[in-house]
A and B are shown apart, each in its own frame.
Chain A
Amino acid sequence: MATERQAPVPRKPVTIAPKVEYLSVLDEHGQADQTLDPQLDDDSLLRLYRTMLLTRRVDERAINLQRQGRMGTYGPTRGQEAAHIGPAFALERDDWCVQSFRETGACLLRGWPIQNVFLFWGGYEEANVVPQGINDTPIAVPVATQLLHAAGVAWAMKLKKHPKVVLGFVGDGGTSEGDFHEALNFAAVFDLPVVFVIQNNQWAISHPRRKQTRSETLAQKALAYGFDGVQVDGNDILATYVAGREAVDKARSGGGPTLIEAVTYRLGVHTTADDPTKYRSAEEVDRWVKRDPLTRFTKYLTDKGVLNDQTIAEIDADVLEEVKRGVEAYESIGQVDPLDVFAFTYAEMPPELVSQRDEFAAALERERRSAGQ
């Protein structure tokens, strides 16, 4: 006897306080919504533009270096410049920026030397010696683990009563990792001054966003933890800045965390060891090329009179020169000492490590001598 599915018993909606909203200011044609435009001054606009362009040129150069064998496998940021530079622009110098590995533009904005980018992908720990005065963490490889660090830094700021904020970045793939959820939960429970930014570039290597989670948006995941989510057009530098600014201000005034989902696109490869033609179409990429953050921002600035053809060319030439100097600085690192592997394991080398280091030094010496023969 077939039983028909009964209509569900009537129930009342549960109203929850947190909300998720969408923000877009500058469309793909370079037109800004006048009511939402943050009206940044020309200096700020030019700084944002130059940083986005610098990021793009560093990116191109890095891929180039990798192809020539002068650098190892590299993770590009092409197409995502607005998604991470915008929120980072909302930070003060004393605030902290906690990156994953695709926030090159945020690092450059914060003052990281260009050569550190090349040094990291070139295989040198020297890349991670964060310059004094830059309050950032180095690249974090295990996906989403850095979000707990971001929460922890924010927690320490709060415990010490310092009015500072932390920005913690992650990708769409990272939102499936447990540490993402634990970080958001702790941030909410303890009202931590941390802003989480998801660079949703639609792809976790070959895994498309729609298969990563059933959530309609990533921003709404904040609701589960009790705070607001904001989904922004991640290719719109004005929107990503505005969302970042508001979230940072809210955190700084004790309002707790926010989750920003910057909807963007990974125009390039996951890393230079990846072949996206295996899992996505050229048509899809072309659709997103039309939404390039740099193209629309250039149009907006040109229409505003902040840029013209001549200044665009001058800035590009200046940026390329800066990149060139960065490559030179990177390649001037010369020979590094393999014995360094021991030096920073502990504050002070215990006896066993001293004897292992001696053994290694002797092995290196033998190998040097026999190579010399």
Chain B
Amino acid sequence: MASLNMVKALNLALRQALTDDGDVVILGQDVGRDEGVFRVTEGLLAEFGSDRVIDTPLAEAAIVGCAVGMCLYGLKPVCEMQFSGFAYQAFHQIEGHVCRFRNRTRGRYTMPMVIRMPSGGGIRAIEHHSESREALYAHTPGLKMVMPSTPRNARALLAAAIADPDPVVFYEPKAVYRAFKEEVPDEPETLPIGKARVVAEGNDITLISFGAMMRPTIEAAEELAERHDISAELIDLLTLSPMDTETITGSIRKTGRAVIVHEGPRTCGVGAEVAARIAESALEYLEAPIRRVTCYDVHFPYFARERAFLPNAERIIHAAREAMDF
């Protein structure tokens, strides 16, 4: 066991994957010599060499497009997009090929790649560096979309993603990169992709979130218990696609109320999908309308307005209490 922050935990997963599987290759901008702008790939070039950890020119489409070719020939590339907001150069390769090759060729060719991207706001970055468009990837057939929330689950999910025979878009909540440490086992550990986690049990209301928003959601749950005598069940989605409907609806059958919390814009966000599934499968258990606490349908502001803009514990508590009072 070691007490690691998320950056170190991700680094551990990458190091173990590079050690255990000679077909794993890391490629991206500044991942080698500079060890990644967030240091996630620290020490990896030195340990594994430039045939395994590859610094590329500035070209996102080429990073992912070449990774497609690498998969065709049997490698398992782990691509890095420096920020999720810059992945759109690569989006056409993702939408046009990465998510389609298995289906297009009836399994003759498959795409066992991971595309890692730091996402979300909260670090006072300039425009395009605080994006949350997980819904785009969750909406794309043939992709898996994963977003961890803590060092330990980040390590376990990244290991699972690298081992997954299908392509995984792996969003890393950059606001959590160095926010706190957690005990992470030295020996290899994975979590199943497609399973949400009940972080805390409760009876009155279900709070559902993922990524960086888990922390204000947990804070809200604690205050709801201490100050308002409301017992909240906390669910961390962990995988956005394929989403774990059973865990979500199972909780709603118990509590009858839901607040969904995420950073991305509200309309057609992941929360909309969660709400639709609850309405489809657990309508008769609902005691109140499903609430979503999210960023608004506007672009993420420059960081002078960031702190006011991001969903916080107060807004989650307010929504939860409204649901309880309905």
Contacts and interface: CB of A to CB of B under 8 A. Distances in A.
Interface in A209-232: none
Interface string A305-332: 0000000000000000000000000000
Interface centre among B70, B142, B243 (most CB of A within 10 A): B70
B62 A185 contact: yes
A240 B154 CA distance: 52
Given A189-B57, A347-B166, A352-B243, A151 B62 contact: yes
A37 interface: no
Report the contact-size class of chain B (Cβ under 8 Å from the partner).
Answer: 35 or more
Interface stretch (B10-18, B90-98, B287-295): B90-98
Given A156-B75, A350-B194, A182 B65 contact: yes
Contact of B245 (A141, A152, A351): A351
A153 B106 contact: no
A140 B166 CA distance: 20
A352 B59 contact: no
A142 B105 contact: no
Given A148-B61, A149-B65, A156-B75, A344 B242 contact: no
Contacts of A63: none
Nearest to A131: B108
A346 B66 CA distance: 21
A152 B73 contact: yes
Contacts, number: 132
A150 interface: yes
B232 interface: no
Contacts of A183: 62, 65
Contact of B66 (A125, A148, A343, A344): A148
B102 interface: yes
Interface in B230-246: 242-243, 245-246
Interface in A122-175: 125-126, 128-130, 137-138, 140-142, 145, 147-157, 159-160, 166
A353 interface: yes
Contacts of B62: 148, 151, 179, 182-183, 185-186
Interface centre among B74, B93, B165, B243 (most CB of A within 10 A): B93
A353 B57 CA distance: 38
Contact of B57 (A137, A138, A153, A186): A186
B68 A353 contact: no
B103 A150 contact: no
A346 B102 contact: yes
B104 A138 contact: yes
Given A189-B57, A351-B245, A352-B242, A149 B92 contact: no
B61 A179 contact: yes
B108 A130 contact: yes
Nearest to B71: A152
Contacts of A150: 69
Interface in B44-68: 51, 56-57, 59, 61-62, 64-68
Nearest to A158: B51
Contacts of A343: 106
B82 interface: no
A145 B92 contact: yes
Nearest to A157: B73
Contacts of A350: 194, 242
A281 interface: no
Nearest to B165: A347
Report the contact-size class of chain A (Cβ under 8 Å from the partner).
Answer: 35 or more
B231 to A, nearest CB: 28
A178 B60 CA distance: 11
B74 A125 contact: no
Contacts of A347: 102, 110, 165-166
**Chain A, interface SS category:** helix
Nearest to B104: A128
Contact of A152 (B69, B109, B141): B69
A39 interface: no
A345 interface: yes
Interface string B200-211: 000000000000
B72 A159 contact: no
Interface in A327-358: 343-347, 350-353
A217 B18 CA distance: 44
Contacts of B59: 182, 185-186
Contact of A344 (B61, B102, B194): B102
A145 B102 contact: no
Nearest to B97: A145
B263 to A, nearest CB: 23
Contacts of B92: 142, 145
Contact of B108 (A128, A141, A155, A179): A128
A159 B51 contact: yes
B104 A155 contact: no
Interface centre among B62, B93, B102, B166 (most CB of A within 10 A): B62
Interface in A51-98: 96, 98
B90 to A, nearest CB: 10
Interface centre among B74, B106, B110 (most CB of A within 10 A): B106
A353 B104 contact: no
Contacts of B194: 350-351
A125 B103 contact: yes
B61 A153 contact: no
A193 to B, nearest CB: 12
Interface in B281-305: none
30 contacts: A98-B69, A125-B104, A125-B106, A126-B106, A128-B105, A128-B106, A128-B108, A138-B105, A142-B96, A142-B97, A145-B93, A145-B96, A148-B61, A148-B66, A148-B69, A152-B65, A152-B67, A152-B71, A152-B73, A153-B73, A156-B74, A182-B59, A182-B61, A183-B62, A186-B57, A186-B62, A345-B103, A346-B242, A347-B165, A352-B245
Given A145-B97, A352-B245, 8 more contacts: A125-B105, A125-B106, A130-B105, A140-B97, A148-B65, A160-B74, A185-B62, A345-B142
Interface of A: 96, 98, 125-126, 128-130, 137-138, 140-142, 145, 147-157, 159-160, 166, 178-179, 182-183, 185-186, 189, 343-347, 350-353
